[in-house]
Amino acid sequence: MFSFFRKKAPVAAPAPTTAPSGPPASPAPSAPSAPSAQSRFPGFPASSASSAPDIFAAADTPPKVDVGWFARLREGLRKTGGSLAAVFTGTRIDAALYEELEAALLMADAGSPATQALLEELKRRVKDTQATDPAAVKGLLVEVLASQLAPLQKPLVVGEHRPTVMMVVGVNGAGKTTSIGKLTRHLAEGGCKVLLAAADTFRAAAREQLAVWADRAQVQIVSQEGADPAAVTFDAVSAGRARGCDVVIADTAGRLPTQTHLMEELKKIQRVIGRAQEGAPHEVLLVVDGNTGQNALAQVKAFDAALGLTGLVVTKLDGTAKGGVLAAIARWGAEQGRVVPVYFIGVGEKLEDLQPFDAREFAEALLR
């Protein structure tokens, strides 16, 4: 999927300013950096931690298909894809076929705007190609869907800033801490020196869960029970700069976007990170549960309005018939003129079940 193709010197960051009020968190003792390992994550090739690459991004060459991942993705999307594929089991291309397809897309939570856009483009291509059987229409739908989803496909770049600071947000139960753990492991195996900030100070299990992932990946973590979340993130970013880390990832407490006071706290954390390093956070990632369908789109809109999202991680696509929500997110981005890319999708609990999003691969797995 992704591969390393260039290096870029990081932007020099100015010294941190005064820490916010409240009890500061004490960084945990330094842990040894991750050893060199063959990366199982195509976006982050393996290299030694002492010579961590400056920047990772998508290569211009066509990606190699990971057959194992494609099979898992296809199986994970079976519930969504099954209802769509059933539309093309007949022998005629008529109004009934398009009506059934429209109903299947709406049931998959693609949403009305995305569904109409898909159908209009599909009909145009059917007319242009003079397709005569449902199987050919299905193949055209793969092309149309891949085209509609293409704006969501964008690589997560690290190394342009050192450290690259990521703030991760989301509602409770979306898989936020687990996704952070998987991403950390992949980055560490790719040669990046990572530091985690346990800024979810209200839920003890969150700190413990993050500490387990930190131990597995052999990365450092800044954590303090009961501390102010903004103070924890400030200390973590400052420690990351002092220790020469490539990436600092801040976990935050899960919250609903309707909880105004908690959303304000996220804004405070974002501001404080900016005080610790100018221009940070460089990434504000929202983790959304693919099972929630159109509610996932509502979360994207609310968190984007509050924080200005830079990317998404869509989890739990293996247990849902609502995978069409990615089309809804793409359409919403097209309508507002600013797409929030989907960096990663998840279809299981295993480390390798979190992978970079590829629009064509997703469309193929969904409909083939």
The pTM of the full predicted model, rounded to 2 decimals, is: 0.82
**Residue 61 CB: number of other CB atoms within 10 A?**
8
Contacts (Cβ under 8 Å, ≥6 apart) of 78: none
In terms of Cβ atoms closer than 10 Å to its own Cβ (0-12, 13-18, 19+), residue 13 is middle
Contacts (Cβ under 8 Å, ≥6 apart) of 154: 58, 311, 341, 343
Query: What per-residue confidence (pLDDT) applies to 349?
Result: 82
- For the stretch 318-351, pLDDT in tens is 866 688 899 999 999 999 999 999 999 998 888 8
**Residue 63 CB: number of other CB atoms within 10 A?**
15
Query: What per-residue confidence (pLDDT) applies to 14?
Result: 52
| Contact between 165 and 283 (Cβ < 8 Å) | yes
- For the stretch 54-71, pLDDT in tens is 444 433 444 455 668 888
- The stretch 299-328 carries a mean pLDDT of 90
Query: What per-residue confidence (pLDDT) applies to 261?
Result: 80
Cα 361 to Cα 142: distance, rounded to the nearest angstrom: 10
Contacts (Cβ under 8 Å, ≥6 apart) of 201: 207, 224, 225, 226, 227, 228, 229, 232, 253
Cα 16 to Cα 23: distance, rounded to the nearest angstrom: 17
Mark residue 130 as left, alpha or beta (left: phi above 0; alpha: psi -120 to 50; beta: remaining).
Answer: left
Closest CA to 94 of 137, 55, 152: 137
Strand ranges in 290-360 using DSSP code E only, listed in sequence order: 311-315, 342-346, 354-356
Cα 28 to Cα 160: distance, rounded to the nearest angstrom: 26
Cα 201 to Cα 228: distance, rounded to the nearest angstrom: 7
Cα 127 to Cα 111: distance, rounded to the nearest angstrom: 24
Query: What per-residue confidence (pLDDT) applies to 39?
Result: 37
Query: What per-residue confidence (pLDDT) applies to 283?
Result: 97
Give the orientation angle of helix 134-149 with respect to helix 359-367, to 10 degrees. 150
Closest CA to 293 of 274, 314, 271, 278: 314
Confidence of residue 204 (pLDDT cuts 50, 70, 90): low
Q: Please check the confidence at residue 16 and state whether its pLDDT lies above 70.
A: no
Cross-strand bridge partners of residue 167: 250, 284
At 8, which amino acid appears?
K
Query: What per-residue confidence (pLDDT) applies to 215?
Result: 92
Cα 18 to Cα 36: distance, rounded to the nearest angstrom: 36
Query: What per-residue confidence (pLDDT) applies to 4?
Result: 28
Query: What per-residue confidence (pLDDT) applies to 140?
Result: 95
Q: DSSP label at 50?
A: G
| Contact between 114 and 148 (Cβ < 8 Å) | yes
